Amino acid sequence: MKRHFQFSRIFLCATLLLTSAAFAQQAPAKASHGISLNHLDRAVNPGDDFYQYANGEWLKQTEIPGDRGAIGVFSTLDDTASEHTAEIIAESAKSNAKAGTGTRKIADLYNSYMNEQAIEAAGLAPLQAQLKSISAINDKHQLARALGESLRTDVDALNNTNFHTANLFGLWVAPGFHDSGHYGAYLLQGGIVLPDREYYLSGSERMRDLRAKYQAHIAATLKLAGFSEVDARAKGIVELEHALAEKHISLAENDDIIKADNTWKQADFAAKAPGLDWTEFFRAAGLSTQASFTVWQPTAFTGESALAASVPLDTWKDWLAYHLIEEYSGVLPKAFATERFAFFGQTLSGTPQQRPRWQRGVRIVNGLLGDAVGEIYAQRYFSPEAKARAQAMVANIIEAFRKRIDGLDWMTPSTKAEAKAKLSTLYVGIGYPESWRDYSALEIKPDDILGNLRRASLFEYRRDVGRLGSAVDKKEWSMTPQTVNAVNLPLQNALNFPAAILQPPFFDAEAPAAANYGAIGSVIGHEISHTFDTEGSTFDSTGALRNWWTPEDLAHFGVATRKLAAQYNTYKPFPDLSVNGEQTLAENIADVAGISAAYDGYLASLAGTPAPVQGGFTGDQQFFIAFAQNWASKSREESRRQQVLTDGHAPAEYRAATVRNIDAWYSSFEIQPGRKLFLAPADRVRIW
């Protein structure tokens, strides 16, 4: 489930550092409190292109910086949060704090990344022991051991986080489908490095060219590492990843939670997925005592395991070596980092320049010690008053959603009762978590950045594996306070709204209610609505996977959601590439339902008083303009294509077009038949 409001959660490991700019966004500060009047293009009829109407002047005047693949409103906050985080890190670095404290770990981690001289001097030495171990693999039993040792918990099936892990499989530790009170083990398909299976399987000229450049990048990386016959090795690696991609299911298929509900006992793997020595794999992964797993994509496991047996051992060894080097290339000598960025940054994402090193260092610290930084961030930048105001808005929108459920004429009382139970038990975290991560067992050295990353990865893995079978913390956060994003956690029936997104321009205490409800209110409504989208609706109020719908209600829901998917299938950001309505369905449902609930919450907040006018715009008009201005963005073609292929969110302009399903938008702007966005009342999608 792609639950995050903006983009998938970023695990800031070395693998992603040099490409994280692909979806970074930036925008100038707002000139006034409320909607940005100077962003409007009044020459555009709102009924023809509401996105251009709300953002046209901004789009004309904004250029994408060289170190970004895209820019937009979200980075107004992201850049500010990064600057605040950098200040915290700089202060920590100067503090000479006691060894072992969070402050000292922050300083040592950042300094270890910034010490380029030490990184150059070390060369490839920090990886030599692992590379030697890979080279010594002599049989498929030892291969299974190596694959098991590389297993990590850097995936999240419901949020498509690092969904296609570069390891053969990924482990996700989360509340169980049928025992939401205890942590269970989920296994996910993996083994590929390019963003999605289509990058390997598509026969288009563009993708064939991209694969050729990827193969050349692998060869260049192996050559830097001192390997011989690099062209042949690179060819074998790409062919293996292509074979793995053929076994993968698509992103749209992955969102079918019912199909993901496959419990395999450990003894089942040898029969259901023969080829891999599963006993040795689980032993090496530290999972020998885990009785059962939820296998999210069983056909992929059967296919990938068969490849472990059929593909020559030398090819697997090359694949392991390349993946290891690629994982840490961001903290290897400059030649490795430059080669990686040349492909993943420039070729794949269209980003001309790398971000400054200090910004990449901030991202590493946020990724590995996020709560240590976040505790300071929350104290410094999120006041109790701001938290109280945000909590009041959330409560208002939840109540609006409750009333919308009551008003549904198609839903039976029994289903309504279950839906309202989900709202009643929904945990909403505002600003920061109620408890902080303990990093005392994580060793951070001031002169060993690669070792720090390796130890942090193992620290997270061992922490997650150690939780298997234990009681779930329903109030645990999946984001840090300094993250500009929001999330719905269906297995916990919980929402997180970090402090960093609860700031202007999304949430401004001095702005009219119309602007706040249209901006942050639609974000809040979006996340609440995920509780009832195509995936969230399969979980009950406890977070357990259970069908709480009557057959008639579920059938009605299915008709409405298919109608919305069909609507988005018509959108074509490129002549040769359309939006995938099924892949983006959960997010599109959340947009439609979220803006509807936010609008009701806005009206309730007025308590019958007239809304103030801004720039000649009524309160209702401000509400919808604020919603559309959330999505002001520009992206390079490569980044945009990658988003369409791999992201569960539709491109920005189509998210702004959500308004065409909302009756109040038509009356607010007097949208008449004949306009491009006009939908007859019967064609407007109404779900919640």
Residue 562 in domain: yes
Kindly state whether residues 519 and 587 are assigned to the same domain: yes
- DSSP H helical ranges for 329-482: 334-340, 357-368, 370-381, 384-406, 413-425, 449-467
Tell me what pLDDT residue 160 has. Answer: 61
Q: How does residue 296 score in pLDDT terms, banded at 50, 70 and 90?
A: very high
Average pLDDT rounded to a whole number, residues 390-414: 94
Whether 649 maps to a domain, the answer reads yes
pTM assigned to the model:
0.91
Whether residue 453 is contained in a domain is answered as: no
Residues 300 and 237 in one domain: yes
Say if residue 286 is in the same domain as residue 153: yes
| Residues 317 and 396 grouped into a single domain | no
Residues 284 and 420 both lie in one domain: no
The pLDDT of residue 112 is 97
Cα gap 235→593, rounded to integer Å:
47
Distance, in Å, from the CA atom of 605 to the CA atom of 600, rounded to the nearest integer, reads 9
Assess if residue 673 is contained within a domain: yes
Q: Are residues 276 and 398 in the same domain?
A: no
pLDDT 10s digits, 521-572: 999 999 999 999 988 999 999 999 999 999 999 999 999 999 999 999 999 9
- The percentage of residues in the chain with a pLDDT greater than 90, rounded to a whole number, is 88
* Mean pLDDT on 659-667: 98
Task: Give residue 2's pLDDT.
Answer: 39
389 and 311 together in one domain? no
Q: What pLDDT is stored for residue 5 in this prediction?
A: 34
Per-residue pLDDT, 614: 95
pLDDT at 13 over 90: no
Q: Tens digits of per-residue pLDDT, 510-532?
A: 899 999 999 999 999 999 999 99
CB atoms within 10 A of CB 82: 21
| 195 and 301 share one domain | yes
Q: Quick check: is 557 in a domain? A: yes
What does the mean pLDDT of the chain come to? 92
* Overall domain count for the chain: 2
Residue 9 domain-assigned (yes or no): no
Residues in the chain: 688
Residue 462 lies in a domain: no
From residue 679, alpha-carbon distances to 48, 86, 252, 280, 662 in Å are: 11, 48, 26, 58, 10
Q: Is there a domain that residue 176 lies in?
A: yes
One domain for residues 314 and 394: no
Pick the last residue of a domain from 297, 332, 367.
Answer: 332
Distance between CA 495 and CA 285 in Å, rounded? 31
In this structure, of 183-192, 372-381, 446-455, 499-508, the range with the lowest mean pLDDT score is 499-508
Residue range 286-293: mean pLDDT, rounded: 98
Task: Specify the range with the lowest mean pLDDT, choosing from 24-28, 52-56, 674-678.
Answer: 24-28
* Residue 666 CB partners (closer than 8 Å, separation 6+): 678
Buried b (16+ CB within 10 A) or exposed e, 175-198: bbbeebeebbbbbbbbbbbbbbbb
Residue 152: CATH number of its domain: 1.10.1380.10
Range of the domain at 177: 124-332
Q: Any idea what the CATH number is for the domain that residue 547 is in?
A: 3.40.390.10
Check whether residue 307 and residue 409 sit in a common domain.
no
Q: 397 and 322, same structural domain?
A: no
pLDDT category at 79 given cuts 50, 70, 90 is confident
Q: Would you put residue 431 in left (φ > 0), alpha (ψ -120 to 50) or beta? A: left
| C-alpha radius of gyration, the chain, whole number | 25
Same domain (yes/no): 180, 276: yes
Domain end (from 332, 367, 401):
332
pLDDT at res. 226: 97
